[in-house]
Amino acid sequence: VNFDGSKFAKGLSLYASTFDSDALFRRTKFFVCADFSRVRFEGEATFIGSDFHTNKSLKFDRAVFKYPCDFITVTFHGPSSFKSCQFIGPCNLSGARFKKNYPLLEGAVLHQKTVITAKKEYWPSSQNCEQNPEEAKATCEILREQMEAQGLHEQAHFFFRREMHFARKTGSFWRAIPNWLFYVVSDYGYSILLPFVWLYNFWMGGALIFLQFTELTKFKSLGLSISNLLQITGLQRAYWPDVIECLPWGLKFLGGAQTLL
């Protein structure tokens, strides 16, 4: 069945249909809504380069893809639902763009060779997402687990970061604080640069305070500050015990705070 290049201007419903052979929907445009619920694709299903301008709904709920299906470079402009959908064959979503909504994947069975492009330009950020944060978080969790199962750790961490973003929006204010700190300090453990920037700021900030309120020289202030931050190296015990002993309680507290930070 070949619908290549077609345009469904007022929507399409194929509810509970069965395609006994390959179904081609390449470069097809869908407007308003499209319903593929309970459709059985007994052959390959190909939606390469298609556009779903379905501002009302796009449903693949309980659809069954028995053979490989391709959603390569497909653009989803509105909400899409794949609830309880079965991908018995591999599914290729390489280059697929989800503009404003994450797909609903509750109960979906994904093939172990599912291909997904995990880059920020292909997925809505937490700022432009027009979706319930709980739904978006659930989808990111499912995709993270799928990527982890394939050993794709970079892709898994991408969805982990998105999952944590939406977690900040779903919990209470007090639960959001540690998530926010995790993001600011290290981009949820992804950034190498951010922790070094924070370490440098704590080093310089502490050194300036020691320089201002003690008789230590500039280089000794820098040395004491870095030894507080890197206490695990033993520098503090080796070179600074006498100096620390003579510090007022406020500066001792500062040194302890540096160690904790």
Residue pLDDT, tens place only, 39-59? 999 999 999 999 999 988 999
* Global confidence as pTM: 0.84
Residue 215 has pLDDT above 90, yes or no: no
- pLDDT in the model for residue 214: 85
- pLDDT in the model for residue 88: 96
Distance CA(255)–CA(261), nearest Å, equals 10
Instruction: Read off the amino acid at residue 109.
Output: V
Give the residue among 28, 64, 29, 59 at the shortest CA–CA distance from 43.
Answer: 64
Residue 17 has pLDDT above 90, yes or no: yes
- Is-contact 112 150, C-beta < 8 A? yes
- pLDDT in the model for residue 65: 98
Angle (deg, nearest 10), helices 218-229 and 249-260: 50
